[in-house]
Amino acid sequence: MSAAETKTEVFTITEMEEPAAEKDRSSTNKKTRIYEHYVQPCLAELFGTTLFVFVGCASVIGNVGTGVLQPALAHGLTLAILIMVLGQISGGHFNPVVSLSVYLCGGMELLLLVPYVLAQMLGGMIGAGLAKAIYPPQVYALTFGGALQPIDTELGRCTLAEVMMTLILTTVVWMGAINSKTSSPWGPFCIGLTVTANIFAGGVMSGACMNPARAFGPALAANQWNHHWIYWIGPICGALLTVSFIRLLFGDRKTRVFLK
C-alpha cells in the first residue's frame, strides 16, 4: 500500500469517528441538562426539606423550657442556611405553598411544580421520622413529635394567623429573593428572619406553621391529625393573597399583569 493510500484510509476512518464522538458528547450534555434542570432541583428540595423538618421537630421535642424562643431560632436559622447552600440549585423553597406562589407569579415551570411538592412532602415525612428515631418515646410523646397543635376554641383565629404569616413569608420570598427590582443577596437571611419573627408572633396561637410539609410530616409520624386542615387552608390562602399583590401591585414589569 502506498503512502498516499495510507493517508487516505486514516483520513476516512477519522472522518467517520468524529460524528459518532460528537453524538456521544451531545447525548451526554443532554442528560446533564435534564439532570441539572429537573432531577437535581427535586433532590435538593427533598434533602433541604428533610433537614428543615428534622431540625424543626427536634427543636420542639427537645425544648428545654424556653417557650417559642428555641423553635423560632432553630426554624429561622436552619431555613436561612439551607437557602444559602441549596438555593442556587432549586431556589430553596422547602415549602409547597412557596413553590405554588412562585409558579403562579411566573418564577418556575409547571412541569416542576408537582415534583417539587412531592419531594417536599416526602422530605417532611423523612425529617419527622428521623426526629422520632433520635428521641426516647416518652420525650417524643410529650410534644406529639413536634406536630402542630392549634387552640381548639380558636380555630378561625388560628387559620387567620396562618394566612397572615404565610402572606408575610411568601411576600418576603418573592420580593427579597426573586423579584428583579428588589431581590438582594440578603434574601436567605431575610426569609429565615421572617420565619423566626412569625413564630414569635403566632407560635402560641397556631404554631406558626406556614408550611404544609412541616405540618404533614410530624402529623404522620405521631398520628396526630387534630385540626390538620388549618395547616393547608391557611398557608394556601396566604400564598394566593401574595400572588394577587405581586401580580397586581408590587411585581416588576415581567411579573405584573397591568402597566407593564
Evaluate whether residue 82 is within a structural domain.
yes
Q: Specify the number of domains making up the chain.
A: 1
Spatial CA neighbour of 79 closest among 69, 70, 87:
87
CA distance 143 to 155: 20
27 found inside a domain: no
Task: For residue 223, tell me if it sits in a domain.
Answer: yes
Residue 208 CA to residue 231 CA, distance in Å, equals 9
Would residue 6 count as lying in a domain? no
**Nine cell digits for residue 96:** 409547597
Is there a domain that residue 48 lies in? yes
C-alpha grid cell for residue 17? 469517528
Is 179 part of a structural domain of the chain?
Answer: yes
**For each successive 10 residues of the chain (260 residues), what is the average pLDDT?**
47 50 75 94 98 97 91 98 97 98 96 97 98 96 94 94 98 96 95 98 95 98 96 98 97 89
**Domain limits for position 100:** 38-250
Is residue 255 in a domain? no
**pLDDT, position 227:** 95
* Cα distance between the two ends of the chain: 73
- Distance from C-alpha of 65 to C-alpha of 56, rounded to nearest angstrom: 16
Element (H, E) at 192: helix 187-202
pLDDT attached to residue 21 = 66
Measured CA to CA, the distance from residue 28 to residue 132 in angstroms comes to 41
User: Residue 163's domain is classified under what CATH number?
Assistant: 1.20.1080.10
Predicted confidence at residue 20, as pLDDT, reads: 64
* CA–CA dist 210, 241 (Å, integer): 14
Total Cβ atoms within 10 A of residue 87: 18
**Residue 18 domain flag:** no
The CA distance from 94 to 69, in Å, is 22
